[in-house]
Amino acid sequence: MTYENLVPVIRKLAIEAGAKIMEIYNSDDFDVKVKSDDSPVTAADEAADALISAGLRAAFPDMMLVTEEQAASHKERGDTFLIVDPLDGTKEFIHRRGDFTVNIALVEEGVPTRGVVYAPARQRMFFTLADGSAVEETGAFDPETIGETRPIRVADSNNSALMVVASKSHRDQATDDYINKYSVKDSKSAGSSLKFCLVATGEADLYPRVGRTMEWDTAAGHAVLAGAGGKVVRFDDHSPLKYGKEGYANPFFIAYAPAVELKEA
């Protein structure tokens, strides 16, 4: 596998999965089930997972694959693997709020190096090119042909007037207490991995997450943000957030533009 053949495959699969998701999203009704960890899952999650998993296994049969919807894949361990959240933001999907994404990433030596984040209801797509730089694609999102793209870059943040983005479904007092350590011009809420992308494009400076996430929730957004010059660190000691951890669970973390002067937890 090379970056040159990886990037078109993950972009194509994200678009095709997004089309399946939107078919169900725009239907009159859909069933919602509850998984063993009490999180919701829909037919859209399952259809997108089946499509992406089949595509990745066909293209890269020797690469370890971890996907949210296949518990058996969580038992494998390694520091280099493909990781998928076929529908990040299921609660946003269920409530038809639009802030859900398809996430596919490559992790190498514990670091997300390439990824794609596609928000089909928002018509926004972010991904890393073969050289690792991050772009936003605009246009028709043809699965076979990359359309017009623009390079994205984190903001040169003004620490006296920061823009903060936080979770739409999981914002709590602990998050607000941490945000209040900064001089904040304004804050916005967003669902799913779009929060990483808003920092990557310079639409926000800081995204603190004081709550539970899994590696498949964050890897693709992390890769896009890193490709735009951003960073993701642990909340407790500001060390880089690593992947391939036991159980694929993340600690609390902070995603930010490097010009931000980070505050202690």
The domain ranges of the chain are 3-151, 162-256
Query: What pLDDT sits at residue 17?
Result: 96
The domain at 162-256 falls in which architecture? 3-Layer(aba) Sandwich (3.40)
Query: What pLDDT sits at residue 37?
Result: 63
pLDDT tens per residue across span 176-218: 899 999 999 999 888 789 999 999 999 999 999 998 899 999 9
Amino acid of residue 161: A
In tens digits, the chain (265 residues) has pLDDT values of 899 999 999 999 999 999 999 998 888 776 766 665 656 667 888 899 999 999 999 999 999 999 988 777 778 788 999 999 999 987 787 777 888 999 999 999 999 999 999 999 999 999 999 999 999 999 889 999 999 999 999 999 999 999 999 876 666 788 889 999 999 999 988 878 999 999 999 999 999 999 889 999 999 999 999 999 999 999 999 999 999 998 999 999 999 999 999 999 8
Question: How far is residue 95's CA from residue 173's CA, in Å, rounded to a whole number?
Answer: 23
The domain at 3-151 falls in which architecture? 2-Layer Sandwich (3.30)
Question: How far is residue 94's CA from residue 85's CA, in Å, rounded to a whole number?
Answer: 16
pLDDT tens per residue across span 45-56: 889 999 999 999
For residue 236, what are the CA distances in angstroms to 69, 166, 191, 232? 29, 18, 23, 12
Give the relative orientation of helices 3-25 and 43-59 as an angle to the nearest 10 degrees.
160
Same topology, domains 3-151 and 162-256? Answer is no
Amino acid of residue 95: H
Strand order of the sheet with strand 184-190?
184-190, 162-167, 206-209, 253-256, 231-234
